[in-house]
Amino acid sequence: MTWHRRFGGMIALVVALSLAATTGCGSRAKKGAGIGAVTGAVAGAVVGHQTGHKTEGAVIGAVVGAGIGGAIGHRLDKQAEELARIAETRRTEQGLIVNLSSNTVHFAVNSSQVSPESRDILVELGNVLKNYPEDQILIAGHTDSDGAADYNERLSQMRAQAVADVLVLQGVPGDVITVHGYGETQPFVANDTPENKALNRRVELSITIDESKVPEE
């Protein structure tokens, strides 16, 4: 049997096992382990082929990859639980989204200055986020549809930056944060009532993971 066939068979086996491990599982940590196993198997098999230990490389890579994937999933679950105590937080396939609605983080009309009460909430968020060095954080500002579109874009950018500034002061590294203002282009709901407009005025933190920075547990 050629190494290509043996390699393909091993990867197919690991993929099947990882899918079996993730299908129907409520835990994202288990799903992370399964995906990690596939990634590890591919990398391990390639290295194994180069070193002459094809099968062993795939198996070892799968085990290591599953461990890494499981650790990522576990840390994301833990971080989501901690953040949810402070603000609305949901898990996604890519990571986490923290929604800072206008009821959570308040800005005065046409202002990007964070209110004292809102600053306290951001301080709590920063104290959690700084414990997860693997986080890559996109801070996105959004407005309702009142006013000119270009003005709303600038205002949303400034509000997102104001949130970022508080988090950095709490110890979140600035180089893991990206700030973007979307203005009125991504409404959460229709801008047809005052209540809905309040929902659209928000700042969202989208958190993804840099696997190379996940601490060993």
pLDDT digits (tens, 9 = 90+) for 38-91: 444 444 444 455 455 555 544 444 444 444 567 788 999 999 999 999 999 999
Q: What's the pLDDT score for residue 111?
A: 95
pLDDT digits (tens, 9 = 90+) for 96-116: 999 999 989 999 999 999 999
Q: What's the pLDDT score for residue 59?
A: 46
pLDDT at 172 exceeding the cut of 70: yes
Residue pair 89/96 in contact by the 8 Å Cβ criterion: yes
Burial-class residue 108 by CB neighbours within 10 Å (0-12, 13-18, 19+). Answer: exposed
**DSSP H stretches of helix in 170-208:** 194-200
Q: Which residue has the tokens 């104001």?
A: 162
What residues have CB less than 8 Å from 76, skipping those under 6 apart?
28, 29, 32, 91, 95, 96, 209
C-alpha pair distances (Å), 136 with each of 28, 40, 102, 176 = 18, 22, 23, 5
Q: Which domains does the chain have, with CATH numbers?
A: 3-79 (no CATH), 90-213 (3.30.1330.60)
**CA atoms 40, 45, 48, 50: torsion sign:** negative
Tokens linked to 91: 């898990």
* Residue 49, SS3 per DSSP: helix
Of 88, 144, 76, the C-alpha closest to 121 is 88
